[in-house]
Structure formats: structure tokens, C-alpha cells
Structure 1
Amino acid sequence: MKVIMHEAGANEEALKYVVIVMKQGEQWVMARHKERSTWEFAGGHIDKGESADEAAARELYEETGALEYELYPICIYSVVREDMPESFGKLYLATVNRFGPMPQYEMEEIRAFTELPEAVTYPLFYPAFLERVNAFIN
């Protein structure tokens, strides 16, 4: 399994997912799902009739309670697995100024990190996502 980064606008019609890498100040903000002990960035499926930007804003709120933020589209990514067709998503950066109460959906808590923690939900994807986001920031 591998993740491939594409230029923004590539395969927009095939998008199924969004991932939002969050920063507050100099720290990365990640969420922990109620049923897992690992940390992850906000994200999920794009609902029918919803744009990727709308899905990113919705997922960011639902999974973190973010109320005041700037959302930046970074690139399109795809995930290639031997047993499944290639799937496409859109990667975002959110700079969050203020969080509200944690919404009562699937996430249990959020936490800020100075570095990517060892226990992440998608260890094969997150280093590539962070590399691309850091290139955008710098």
C-alpha cells in the first residue's frame, strides 16, 4: 500500500475523501477516535452532493470542534492497494484559532503535539501528508 501525491485539481471528479492536517500555533492537533487508542488527523468521506471543501469544513468541526480557522487546499492524493482500486482524496491544512466543545460524534478527544506521535491510525500515510503540508507552509 502506498500514497501518491498529485497536483491540485488532478482527478477532482474521483474524490471520495478529505484529510485535514491541523495546526494551532506551532503544534499539530490530532484527534483520538472513541474506539481506538491511536491519533489521527480529521477527515472522512465526501457526502453525496457535497464539495471537497464543504466536506473538509464539516469533518473539521465534527471531529475537533474547530470554530475559528483558515482552511487551505494542499493537493490531491491517492491510495494504491493491491486488493482494491486506487482511491482519491484531497489534503488540506487548517490553521485553527479557536476550538469549541468537542461535538458528540465518533471522536473522544483532541490533543496538540510538537511532533507526529508514534501511535497514529495511518502510519503509512501521515509522514507523506506532513511532508506535503510542511512544503506548503515553508
Structure 2
Amino acid sequence: MFKINFYKLNTIEDNKLLFAVIMTRFNGQWLYVRHRDRNTWEIPGGHREENENINDTASRELFEETGATKFRLTPICVYSVERDETIDYTESFGQLFYSEVEELDNLLHFEISEIKLFDDIPDNLTYPLIQPFLHKKVLDILKDI
């Protein structure tokens, strides 16, 4: 069972933020990536490296997964995913970002085999119980900006 919680920026201790996820737009469309080991679509993002600032994580992951070379990155919120593992209750935290990409490198880097632009969230998601909530949160925030 999954539960998604949203928190205002800077309300969760920085060292608890384990990953960055970046809802990304390019040429007016949402950019999703496909990992080389999967046939599903996901939001660019990944785990924070040791001693790395979470904003640097977002920038690094955005470049590694999409080839984005020129972009604006906006922190949106902190979120957590609660998993009820029956015996062990776990809650992991990440930071959600929004990015508008102006330029993409033509080469795919690291573990990503394909990037694709969508008008809306794709149907075939890697994390269908999580990603729609992140997508909606970004859309809600963008309406208020």
C-alpha cells in the first residue's frame, strides 16, 4: 500500500531527502524517460549522492536522464512515499522540482534508453501509484504562479 504526503519546502530535515524528481517541460510538452531495463515511462529523477546538495542532485539527474543542457529548475515541495510493509513501516522523502528545458543534448546518457514528449501524463508508467500525484501537484502549483 502506498500513500503520498506533501510538505512545504524546508520543513523536512535536509539529510532525509533521499532523491530528487523533476517534472520537466520541453517545447510545451511533458518530458518522460524510459530506463533501459524497463518498457514504462517515468519522471526524470534519482537518488542523492553522498554529500550532494538536493538542488545539485536535481540538476545532475536532469542532465543524466534527459540530456538537458540549458534549463531552469524550480523547487516545488518535499514529498514522501509511505509503504506499509506489514512488519516495517517506512516513509522515504524526496524533493519535487519543476523544470523548463530550453536545450537538450542529442546523446542519451547513463541508464536511459529513450526520452519522449507527451501532452499529458502517459498511460504506461513505471510508478503508477506515485507519478500521477506528483504530476498533479506540479500542475496545481503552476496554476498559482
Is TM (by shorter chain) over 0.5?
yes
Aligned to 1:125: 130
Task: Give the aligned partner of residue 51 of structure 2.
Answer: 49
Letter paired with 1:70: R
Preserved CA contact (<8 Å) 1:7 1:76: yes
Aligned counterparts of 1:4 and 1:93: Cα–Cα separation in 2: 18
Partner SS state of residue 39, structure 1: coil
Q: Secondary structure at the match of 1:136?
A: helix
Of 137, 140, 144, 1:135 maps to 140
Deviation track 1:38-97 (CA, whole Å, cap 9, x = no partner) reads 011111110001010000000000001001100000000001001242100000001001
Q: How many corresponding residue pairs? A: 138
Of residues 23, 29, 44, the one that matches 1:21 is 23
Q: 2:80·2:92 contact (CA, 8 Å) conserved in 1?
A: yes
The runs of at least 4 consecutive aligned structure 1 residues that moved more than 6 Å come to none
> If the length of structure 2 is used for normalisation, what is the TM-score?
0.91
SS across alignment from 2:126: coil
The aligned residue for residue 75 of structure 2 is 73
Partner of 1:4: 5
Q: Which of 70, 95, 116 is matched with 1:111 structurally? A: 116
CA distance in 1, matches of 2:42, 2:92: 19
Gaps of 5+ in 2: none
Query: Kindly, what percent of the aligned residue pairs are identical?
Result: 36
Q: How far 1:103 moved relative to its partner?
A: 3.5
- Work out the CA distance in 2 between the residues paired with 1:115 and 1:135: 14
Residue number in structure 2 paired with 1:38 = 40
Structure 1: gaps (5+ residues): none
Cα displacement (A) at 1:135: 1.6
CA contact (8 A) 1:102 1:109 kept: no
Taking the aligned partners of 1:58 and 1:18, their CA distance within structure 2 comes to 10
- The two structures have a TM-score, normalised by structure 1, of 0.95
CA-atom RMSD in angstroms: 1.1
